């Protein structure tokens, strides 16, 4: 796949979950082909705005799906095999857009037309800002780390799977190498990332954590990778949220802590909900952000309802045990039963009757006030 300027919309060459894909557009109609292993598939559909609804046909399979264009270098989507209900992921990227394993760790780049920006951890949170030249195959950029900044340039390989380049610090004269290769998502894998504040308020309390329980429950599913990390303030939460940017596969993020209407309550500090949303905004792999925290869905509903990914939480001070049973069911519907988060959110109050705003008179659990906010295209 030669590096060429990115065309607006869906037409062009893509690297996708199911190999290289070529799409052509005629009015609102889209046709295309893709290659996965030795198989060739065909696709046809209709574009409306940034959304492509399509049908696909392979030698031994057919179905339908939907792609949503996030920017000129990235789409996210899903498909369903004919005769099945399970929703599966189908994403695509092109140009410089994507995650790259490099000499300085993983780099996340986002491309819109000829503008490219991104991040990497390096010696701390670091940024790249640049633009493409030479037909899109070369990226000239500035980088900024916590204690140093400089410039560099990358050259994209003919197949778009790797780059070679150089960098030098500001004021320096010696160029040093910086190489990378594209990280390809492992098909069928979903991450469950649990970021959790310590619940214990004194040394006398026994240790317990949602992440421990969730890891044990979902360890039985070979397609799920559970990771648990603890945070103790806004900065440490920001750090672990940024790690989500460098995961190639779809991910569910659960943030578990005490909560107030304004956000998360950690050691007397309130971390505003908006700060969390901003930290993961560029994570195109985010399948769901769930706040396992009291009241977070109460005050910030306007912000939660305007995200490019689904968000869920509670409007009440939900009991630990009650929320645990809710969340085990909710996550199992998504990770094990294959439901889309929106469908799981609809099914949840039917299966766990105290999840919503009303309960039976004899219910031992008060209403949890569960809320789900679908992604905004």
pLDDT digits (tens, 9 = 90+) for 278-287: 888 888 889 9
Tokens 């209900």 appear where? 85
265 vs 22, more confident: 22
What is the per-residue pLDDT for 281?
85
| Integer CA distances (angstroms), 94 to 49, 59, 260, 286, in order | 19, 26, 41, 19
Residue 215 DSSP SS3: helix
CA distance 187 to 321: 34
Give the closest residue to 165 by CA, choosing from 151, 175, 179: 179
Residue 251 to residues 18, 47, 88, 286, 351, Cα–Cα distance (Å): 19, 27, 13, 5, 24
- Contact between 312 and 370 (Cβ < 8 Å): yes
CA–CA dist 3, 139 (Å, integer): 11
Comparing 316 with 339, the larger pLDDT belongs to 339
Query: What was the pLDDT predicted at 259?
Result: 76
Question: Which stretch of 37-51, 200-214, 292-306, 358-372 has the lowest confidence by average pLDDT?
Answer: 292-306
- Give pLDDT, residue 268: 77
| Tens digits of residue pLDDT in 222-264 | 999 999 999 888 889 999 999 999 999 999 999 988 877 777 8
Summarize pLDDT for 142-201 with one digit per residue, the tens: 999 999 999 999 999 998 999 999 999 999 999 999 999 999 888 889 999 999 988 777
pLDDT confidence of residue 7: 67
pTM of the model: 0.86
pLDDT the model gives residue 356:
87
pLDDT at position 349 over 60: yes
Average pLDDT over residues 331-355: 93
- What b/e string do you get for 49-74 counting C-beta neighbours within 10 Å, with b at 16 or more? eebbebebebeeeebebbbbbbbbbb
20, β-bridge pairs:
15
Phi, psi at residue 372, to the nearest 5°? -130, 130
Q: How confident is the model at residue 359 (pLDDT cuts 50, 70, 90)?
A: confident
The secondary element (H helix, E strand) that includes residue 241 is helix 234-243
Q: Is-contact 61 55, C-beta < 8 A? A: no
Mean pLDDT of 131-149: 91
Tell me what percent of the residues of the chain surpass a pLDDT of 70. 96
8 Å CB contact between 254 and 193: yes
70 neighbors 111 (Cβ within 8 angstroms): no
pLDDT at 297: 56
* Per-residue CA distances from 217 to 77, 132, 203, 340 (Å): 28, 46, 27, 20
Angle at 180 between CA 130 and CA 144, to 5 degrees: 40
First to last CA, the chain: 28
Residue 299 has pLDDT above 70, yes or no: no
Under 8 Å between Cβ of 167 and 176: yes
The CA dihedral of 270, 275, 279, 283, to the nearest 10 degrees, is: 110
Per-chain mean pLDDT for the chain: 88
Residue that wins the pLDDT comparison between 362 and 295: 362
Are 330 and 344 within 8 A, CB to CB?
Answer: yes
Task: Answer for the pair 300, 264: CB distance below 8 angstroms, yes or no.
Answer: no
* pLDDT for res 2: 46
C-beta of residue 175 within 8 angstroms of C-beta of residue 168: yes
């Amino acid at each position: 796949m030669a590096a060429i300027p990115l065309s607006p919309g869906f037409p062009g060459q893509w690297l996708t979950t199911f190999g290289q894909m070529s799409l052509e557009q005629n009015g609102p109609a889209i046709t295309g082909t893709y290659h996965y292993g030795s198989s060739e598939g065909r696709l046809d559909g209709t574009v409306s705005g940034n959304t492509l609804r399509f049908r696909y046909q392979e030698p031994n399979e057919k179905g339908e799906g939907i792609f949503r264009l996030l920017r000129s270098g990235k789409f996210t989507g899903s498909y369903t095999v004919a005769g099945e209900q399970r929703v599966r992921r189908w994403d695509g990227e092109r140009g410089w857009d994507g995650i790259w394993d490099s000499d300085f760790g993983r780099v996340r780049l986002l491309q819109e037309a000829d503008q490219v920006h991104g991040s990497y951890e390096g010696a701390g949170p670091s940024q790249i800002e640049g633009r493409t030249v030479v037909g899109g195959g070369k990226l000239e950029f500035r980088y900024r780390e916590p204690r140093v900044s400089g410039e560099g340039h990358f050259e994209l390989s003919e197949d778009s799977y790797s780059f070679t380049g150089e960098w030098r610090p500001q004021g320096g004269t010696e160029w040093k190498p910086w190489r990378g290769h594209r990280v390809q998502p492992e098909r069928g894998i979903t991450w469950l990332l649990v970021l959790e504040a310590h619940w214990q308020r004194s040394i006398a309390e026994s240790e317990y954590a949602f992440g421990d329980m969730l890891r044990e429950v979902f360890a039985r599913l070979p397609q799920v990778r559970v990771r648990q990390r603890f945070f103790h303030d806004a900065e440490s939460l920001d750090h672990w949220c940024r790690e989500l940017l460098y995961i190639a596969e779809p991910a569910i993020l659960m943030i578990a802590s005490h909560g107030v209407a304004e956000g998360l309550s950690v050691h007397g500090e309130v971390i505003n909900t908006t700060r969390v949303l901003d930290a993961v905004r560029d994570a195109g792999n985010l399948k769901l952000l769930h706040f396992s925290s009291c009241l977070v869905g109460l005050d910030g509903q306007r912000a939660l309802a305007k995200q490019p990914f689904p968000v869920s939480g509670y409007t009440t001070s939900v009991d630990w045990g009650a929320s645990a049973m809710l969340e085990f069911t909710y996550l199992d519907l998504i990770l094990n039963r294959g439901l889309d988060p929106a469908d799981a959110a609809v099914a949840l109050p039917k299966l766990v009757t105290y999840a919503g705003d009303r309960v039976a008179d004899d219910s031992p659990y008060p209403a949890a006030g569960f809320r789900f906010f679908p992604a905004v295209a």
